[in-house]
Amino acid sequence: MKALISRAPGGPETLELAELPTPQPGRSELRIRVIACAINYPDVLIIEDKYQFKPTRPFAPGSEVCGVVDALGEGVEDWAIGDRLIAITLGGGLAEQVIVPAASAIRLPDGADPVEGAALVFTYGTTIHALKDRGQLKAGETLLVLGAAGGIGLSAIEIGKALGATVVAAVSSAEKAAAARQAGADSTVIYPSGALDKAASKALAETFKAAVGPHGAHVIYDPVGGDYAEPALRSIAWEGRYLVTGFPAGIPHLPLNLTLLKACDVRGVFWGGFVSREPERHRAHVRELLHWWQNGQIKPRIDRVFPLAEGGAAIARLANRSAIGKVVVRLSHDA
């Protein structure tokens, strides 16, 4: 089978298209013929050996796929060859075939777009866990979303609105602000790109405060980090919840005196740990997401679709933060 593989640590340009042996499913496993694989920020890190999970090389990155069952392992009873599904994998998605545990696979609803299906569970799954479990977001509260035009950010706008919140979307350009409004944001903030000096940080804090209103943001969803974190935290409400999700702009250093003055919480969001520790709650979240998706309350926005041979360019597009929505690699057009 063809696969886009990493042989040595490096950036997206180091990936190469190669032939690998076709994998065989073990007991309770499915082999999937991959239709589409969505790109996520861990794919940027894992090929550079900067992620907590370091697979043995050579390996294919990609952990969010939609495909068709083409082989069954021993003991699999609830799946049949030809069934379409969504799966989160431990890598291997940028390959024509991948093995997944049958118990963790998710049936693709009839008539659903497999490219959207590939782009659904990782971002929306992270966000529903973040906003419902960690942020305890309630109807009528104000939600501030940083990086609101990426896949994670757009999912937060849609889920925030589904939960009845007022959503303020913070982005880095007018084009991204338009995408956030299209996704349902009530208002937008355009913040400067690059490093912020003390004056710029203070100015951004005032901008955030004006956008979220006099009571502050009850929940702040931060998948960006870097210099944007402190100005956002300064706009938090009394007993607000600051959700730490990722650091593409760098790991921030928050002044903890702010948590005392606002009686607020800084809460980590580790979706992978949640899925492995609480699979039943995760499955309940997935059922809710599929319901919202079929009802049109959420809809993954696809930034660009690349062929497998250009999977490195897909990862680079996510890495340079130019994508609006999800970047997807399509491997097959016959399903």
User: Using one digit for the tens of pLDDT, what is the confidence trace for 296-330?
Assistant: 999 999 999 999 999 999 999 999 888 899 999 99
| Inter-residue contact 242 to 222 (CB < 8 Å) | yes
Q: Is the peptide bond before 58 cis (omega within 30 degrees of 0)?
A: yes
Determine the Cα–Cα distance for residues 207 and 192; give it in Å rounded to an integer. Answer: 11
Coil, helix or strand for 330?
Answer: strand
Determine the Cα–Cα distance for residues 95 and 60; give it in Å rounded to an integer. Answer: 7
Show the domains of the chain with their CATH numbers.
Answer: 2-120+301-330 (3.90.180.10), 122-272 (3.90.180.10)
pLDDT in tens, 197-228: 999 999 999 999 999 999 999 999 999 999 99
Determine the Cα–Cα distance for residues 267 and 244; give it in Å rounded to an integer. Answer: 6
Q: For position 120, what pLDDT does the model report?
A: 96
Determine the Cα–Cα distance for residues 94 and 121; give it in Å rounded to an integer. Answer: 17
pLDDT in tens, 67-101: 999 999 999 999 999 999 999 998 999 999 999 99
Other Cβ atoms closer than 10 A to 316: 18
Coil, helix or strand for 283?
Answer: helix
| Inter-residue contact 61 to 93 (CB < 8 Å) | yes
Determine the Cα–Cα distance for residues 328 and 330; give it in Å rounded to an integer. Answer: 6
Sign of CA dihedral 48, 51, 54, 59: negative
